[in-house]
Structure 1
Amino acid sequence: MFDFIRTHQRLMQFLLLILILPSFALIGISGYTNYVSGDHDLVKVGSGAVTQQMFDQARSNQLRQLQSSSQGGFDPAVLDNPQARAELLDSLINRQALIDTARAEHFSVSDTALRQSIAALPQLQENGRFSPELYNRTLAAMGLDTHDFEESQRAELALGRVLGPVARSAAVPATVVQRLETILTEQRTVRLKAFPATDYEKDISVSDDDIKAWYDQNKQSLELPQQAIVQYLLLNEAAAMKDLPEVSEDELRKYYDQNKSRYVRPPRVNVSHIQIDVPAGATGEQRKTAHDEAVKIASQLKANPDTFAEVAREKSQDAGTAKDGGKLGWITQGTWPAALEDAVFSLKKGAISGVIDGPGGFHIFRVNDTQPEHGETFEEARAKVETEVRRQLGSDRFAEMASKLTDLVYENPDSLEPASQALGLPIKTAAGIARDRLLASDEVKADAASSSADASLLGDVRVRRAVFANEALVEKQNTGVIELSPDTMIVLHVKEAVPAHIPELAQVSDHIRGVLEGQRARDAAAEAGKKLLAELSKSPSVTAPEGFGDAQSISRIDPRGLPKQLTDAAFAAPTDHLPQYVGVEGPQGYVLVRVEDAKAGTTDSPALATLPQQLAAAWGKAEEDAVLKALRTQLGVKMLPEAQEVIQGEKKS
């Protein structure tokens, strides 16, 4: 069973998505209310409810799916916030509204429709056809019987009938599509003049009083989250390769001989052939007839060897090669039966063999080209051989060190020192590891993880999650050994947990200075740009003023790489009198946009080919949302006080 699961992982993931839906799916809509009776409600929805148990199950499934799809790289903290919890609860309310409606309206699915739906699942098909054997094996591997699975599918199909017709019937009027195509393709010819903030930085001065005033007014925005200062051991390829013993000359030569095919390519020949078939179980007379035909062809070729390809196309009974003049391509020595190789490799370039008895019948070969054995001698390949041998030794040593590291960390849970001494791995220190990120170097007093050579490893979500586990952060136990990649492992020990705090002015003064300098430089750039904008707006010139770039034609569907802010400004400018000038402030400074021309575009752009389908999908989704909203109103959705506690994270299951 476990072998089946391992070899059908994508199929298992698909079925899990089906089976981890709220539990009503396994018992049918009719039994849903009884199933959850006694559980406590969060939201009343018609005659049903969204319960604490349902929310906890859905949240657990959500985490499991995301962790599975991200192969361990998903941070649960991303979902541990009021917005994520509210969105999950809202989706459960919508689902309960569909359940209540399907039950009240007696929506059902026939056995025929159910069978067709299951048979159409590509995950249960082999060679494009539904496979009963695969279906049964799959359900057996999941520990399910056909009744449970089919009832879950029946329930899902019944729910689909509540909103399915709404989305399928959605249609966007042709006039709307045409209008959007016109808007998306209309063109503006523009020139740009930039006022980069960096050009004004040299004239900016920021005093200590300015920094102090900004700090006093904005210190709350500087609050640093809880962070950890950690010690860690890193086991990687470099650590395993360190201080490896020297490899003797004899060992290197032995490795070269054992792996000679990697350094030396054996002889090979490029051949064509003509085949005269001998059917399986042929009589002696049939074999003689085929042999005589092959001899006749060989004699003909001996007289006219240059006609080999032509004769092969006409006479060869190997359909796969005959149309290409009998070409078989390059054959490396050691890959064919000995009898054939002896015949072929004894021929010179351009030579044609006699009749040879081989697989499938009688063959006549022509050698089109030859290549002798060639490659590197031991002396030429020595450096490469030594690198490979040392890497292999390093790999073996890495595996040994990894096993010892795991044991030592487990046996000494409150210190990295024993593992460090036993394995020769230095204990490193890093600070500024927060739950959601590595703090910037100017936010950390010393040993900032973000500026470490190991920053990418320390910032890995698996590392941060392990550091902030209760055992590591509070109890000061070592984390387990974390395998970040096949050749990189890390284990950490929290040296100090630093609570959330507002840093002292001295620590952030450089940061504040940079903020103020950047803001004042942007203000100066904007002032210069607005001054020129006012002048140009009073008397716009026909020709572009000095400093504006080349003219370029843009559209909403093809902005030619311009930021959306600039594109929106260009299309918002009036076009009754051109040129027009508009200014745009941005994080890099100020940009003046000169709009010189406005005209309609062509609506035959390939980029518009899927616009009707995209609009229909969006319109269908909007109509589904509207129907759901109406259903929720009709059913009288009532949020109970417990729901707000769950959303705020105050209520634990």
Structure 2
Amino acid sequence: MLDFIRRHSRLLMILLFVLGMPSFLFSVVADQGFSVTEDRIATINKQNITQSEFNHSWTNRLHELRTSQGANFDIAQVDTPAAREAWLNGLIDAMVIQETAIQDKFSAPESLVRQTIAQLPQAQENGRFSMDAYNRFLTGIGASALQYENSVRRNEAIGLVINPIADSVVMPAKTVKALGDAMSEERQVRLRWFNNEAFINGIQVSEEELSKWYEENKTSFEIPEYVNLDYILLNQEAAVAQVNTPSDAELESYYQSNIRRFSEVERRHIRHIQVDTLEKAQEVALKAKQDPTQFEALAKEYSLDNGTKNTGGDLGLLQRGQISTIDEAVFTPKETGITDPIQLGNNYHVFQIVSIQGGTVKPFAEVKEEIAKEVRLQLASDRFATMATDLTRLAQENHDSLQAIADALGLKVQQVDGISRSGLLPKAQAGAKAALGSEVERFFTLPRVREDVFSAEMFTQGLNSGVIEASPAELLVIRIRDKVEKHIPPLAKVTQQASFMMLNEKAHALAEQTGQKVLEQAQLDQTQEGFGTAVGISRFTTNLPEALLNQIMTAPVDKLPHYIGLSVNNAYVIARIEGVTADKQDLKDLFTQYQAPMLDVVLGNEVSKDFTANLRKMHKVEILPLAKTLLEEEQQ
């Protein structure tokens, strides 16, 4: 149970997938009726689920997931025998629950129907139910108000069969406390690792040993079925390559039209003193000219501008137009210094030009290369749009070859290898043109690409793909060049890999043997010599192998220190448990905030599954042999 709670994230994803099924399934069951008798894969009482009906509902489900997940949707991870089996069982459970609702005359009250409709997201405007929005929703689905209300009534009645069971389940308080206590316990642990790599040096492997080991372990070298591809890539680089470099005259014309972009505007550091009479302004100007270093002090003494007087009248670095009313006064003088009094509105100002950062213009020769690149990119943008339109048209017209498309657009047909249904194969398996690790790897890791590659059109019929949008500025068209069946390569092709694996296996045996001897000695003398720094470990710890964490957290702690040893991946590790902190507050907060609220949901789901299983026993449910073939067939 504790392991279940610790790994709740992954399990909750599965749980949410299952819990998300009923409402969709009920509508499928009700709308389709599952009444056709041909190609039956399951029967429930006198009703049937046929192969075509299952395929239709499963295809709809995949479409839902594709729409919600977008580019992250990976059909190879979703369209699996286990997922199909779960979906079929969901269909059966939905029909069983529907049969129960009909037989036992479950009926949803009108108040529940009205409440459900009132909470319909499509019928909301500004957070409240809107009859206009509701009518638009009904028009959109092509149903009358009566039809939709009957549908809601039917689904709510079905929900009354099982929802009260799930909603009424509460995890016992003692169980919640016990789990909370376990999850909030932290153990102080020192670790000592015996890594395989420390034992590899000195191990010798003969050809005979390696050959024998390979024969015993050859299945671990099996390479899955994969394809090698030809592809056309249209991107910015391809479009730029088809754009001529503008002439010097064209570039200079562009330079003159955008001269301000290649210029640095003059800026001046300005201070000022604001007074209310000309006489006082003249007095201040005279004192400032006699000793310009006193300007800041004069500003603090005389200036009426409360926003700047305490900073010595500082206006900062200005360029023309920032304070347009003072432009003439502060940008006309050729040199730094103190200005005569200037009247602005009802006040008088004395300005100090502290410094001048002169404006400059980069010469054409200096920016010519930059301009050429910029102009070509602008021209390439138009060229890309044209090529993208042509690529879409040509891909629709040419299904049997990429070369005709490439020739028409002036692109290259390129090659990449090692694309399997589940991912990309390493260079050791796919060869020098492997997509994995190449500059174009990111294109072929896209789930959409692999989905197209193994579609019936491409994989079975040998056609080109359509245009695949890897990004708004990167378009692909792909074609299978050849298929490589699942196979086990001979030892000669995997000698290096096999040698490493065998050496690692022998090294692991030595690491384990050495570690066990150290463990025995440590248990005798209770030493901590050779162990790392003590760290706090709890069931929330995620950076340790799962088996090691379980051993640490379940080991007896009535007598400390306590030592345990365990063989893990590529190492043997000894853990020295030397302290226990119960009821650690930050761990308890994590449990209370994130895990405790899930317990009722998880328990309710388990109880609902048991209840549904009992309902299935009350109805004549039979899964027919054709279902096995349908569920396990390869994706196409």
Q: Offset of 1:111 from its aligned partner?
A: 3.2
Distance 2:179 2:559 in 1: 24
Paired residue secondary structure (2:578): strand
Find the counterpart in structure 2 of residue 438 from structure 1: 424
Deviations 1:111-167 (A, max 9, x none): 332222122133431211112222222332343433333333222222221222122
Please say if 1:490 is aligned against 2:472.
no
Is contact 1:181–1:603 with CA below 8 Å preserved after alignment?
A: no
Change (3 A) 1:377 1:159: farther
Please say if 1:554 is aligned against 2:537.
yes
Find the counterpart in structure 2 of residue 597 from structure 1: 579
Paired residue secondary structure (1:245): coil
| Alignment of structure 1 residues 354-503 onto 2, 5 Å | 379=363, 385-503=371-489
Distance 2:635 2:248 in 1: 69
Q: Counterpart of 1:506 in structure 2: which amino acid? A: A
- Counting matched residue pairs gives 559
Please say if 1:629 is aligned against 2:613.
yes
Find the counterpart in structure 2 of residue 518 from structure 1: 504
Q: Counterpart of 2:525 in structure 1: which amino acid? A: S
Distance 1:375 1:533 in 2: 76
Distance 1:262 1:157 in 2: 66
Please say if 1:161 is aligned against 2:140.
no
Find the counterpart in structure 2 of residue 82 from structure 1: 81
Distance 2:241 2:441 in 1: 22
Is contact 2:93–2:612 with CA below 8 Å preserved after alignment?
A: yes
Deviations 1:205-245 (A, max 9, x none): 33222232133223334332332232222222222222532
Deviates more, 1:207-216 or 1:175-184: 207-216
Paired residue secondary structure (1:225): coil
Find the counterpart in structure 1 of residue 13 from structure 2: none
Q: Offset of 1:476 from its aligned partner?
A: 4.0
Paired residue secondary structure (1:55): helix
Change (3 A) 1:400 1:24: closer
Find the counterpart in structure 2 of residue 194 from structure 1: 193
Q: Offset of 1:429 from its aligned partner?
A: 2.2
Find the counterpart in structure 2 of residue 66 from structure 1: 65
| Alignment of structure 1 residues 71-110 onto 2, 5 Å | 71=70, 73-110=72-109
Find the counterpart in structure 1 of residue 180 from structure 2: 181
Is contact 1:191–1:548 with CA below 8 Å preserved after alignment?
A: yes
Deviates more, 1:570-579 or 1:254-263: 254-263
Change (3 A) 1:308 1:491: closer
Q: Counterpart of 1:60 in structure 2: which amino acid? A: T
Is contact 1:22–1:54 with CA below 8 Å preserved after alignment?
A: no
Q: What is the aligned counterpart of 2:563 among 581, 587, 591?
A: 581
Q: Offset of 1:17 from its aligned partner?
A: 9.6
Q: Counterpart of 1:166 in structure 2: which amino acid? A: I
Identity of aligned residues (%): 33
Distance 1:468 1:209 in 2: 41
Q: What is the aligned counterpart of 1:608 among 583, 591, 597?
A: 591
Q: Counterpart of 1:70 in structure 2: which amino acid? A: Q
Change (3 A) 1:260 1:582: farther
Deviations 1:530-572 (A, max 9, x none): 110111122323xx21x21111222224x38444333222222
Is contact 1:172–1:612 with CA below 8 Å preserved after alignment?
A: no
Is contact 1:86–1:647 with CA below 8 Å preserved after alignment?
A: yes
RMSD: 4.2
Q: Counterpart of 2:155 in structure 1: which amino acid? A: E
Is contact 1:194–1:591 with CA below 8 Å preserved after alignment?
A: yes
Distance 1:265 1:631 in 2: 81
Distance 1:182 1:481 in 2: 56
Is contact 2:25–2:91 with CA below 8 Å preserved after alignment?
A: no
Deviations 1:252-297 (A, max 9, x none): 56656777898889999xxxxxxxxxxxxxxxxxxxxxxxxxxxxx
Change (3 A) 1:266 1:171: farther
Find the counterpart in structure 2 of residue 529 from structure 1: 515
Q: Counterpart of 2:195 in structure 1: which amino acid? A: P
Q: Offset of 1:410 from its aligned partner?
A: 4.6
Distance 2:608 2:358 in 1: 69
Distance 1:596 1:139 in 2: 67
Paired residue secondary structure (1:453): coil
Find the counterpart in structure 1 of residue 548 from structure 2: 566
Paired residue secondary structure (1:203): coil
Distance 2:343 2:30 in 1: 73
Find the counterpart in structure 2 of residue 292 from structure 1: none
Distance 2:360 2:21 in 1: 54
Change (3 A) 1:403 1:215: same
Structure 2 regions of 5+ residues with no counterpart? 1-19, 268-301, 309-318, 331-341, 347-355
Deviations 1:12-43 (A, max 9, x none): xxxx999964556766xxxx76x725566433
Find the counterpart in structure 1 of residue 233 from structure 2: 234
Deviates more, 1:121-130 or 1:401-410: 401-410
Change (3 A) 1:386 1:472: same
Is contact 1:22–1:58 with CA below 8 Å preserved after alignment?
A: no
Find the counterpart in structure 2 of residue 137 from structure 1: 136
Is contact 2:26–2:95 with CA below 8 Å preserved after alignment?
A: no
Q: Offset of 1:72 from its aligned partner?
A: 5.2
Distance 1:461 1:651 in 2: 14
Paired residue secondary structure (2:245): coil
Deviations 1:434-492 (A, max 9, x none): 22222221113442232432122233333333333444445544333322111112222
Change (3 A) 1:80 1:177: closer
Deviations 1:600-636 (A, max 9, x none): 2335732133343222222222221221122122224
What is the TM-score normalised by the length of structure 2?
0.76
Is contact 1:107–1:158 with CA below 8 Å preserved after alignment?
A: yes
Distance 2:151 2:374 in 1: 55
Q: Offset of 1:574 from its aligned partner?
A: 2.1
Is contact 1:347–1:353 with CA below 8 Å preserved after alignment?
A: no
Please say if 1:127 is aligned against 2:126.
yes
Find the counterpart in structure 1 of residue 632 from structure 2: 648
Q: Offset of 1:581 from its aligned partner?
A: 1.1
Distance 1:226 1:567 in 2: 37
Paired residue secondary structure (1:550): coil
Q: What is the aligned counterpart of 1:507 among 466, 472, 493?
A: 493
Find the counterpart in structure 2 of residue 315 from structure 1: none
Q: Offset of 1:593 from its aligned partner?
A: 0.6
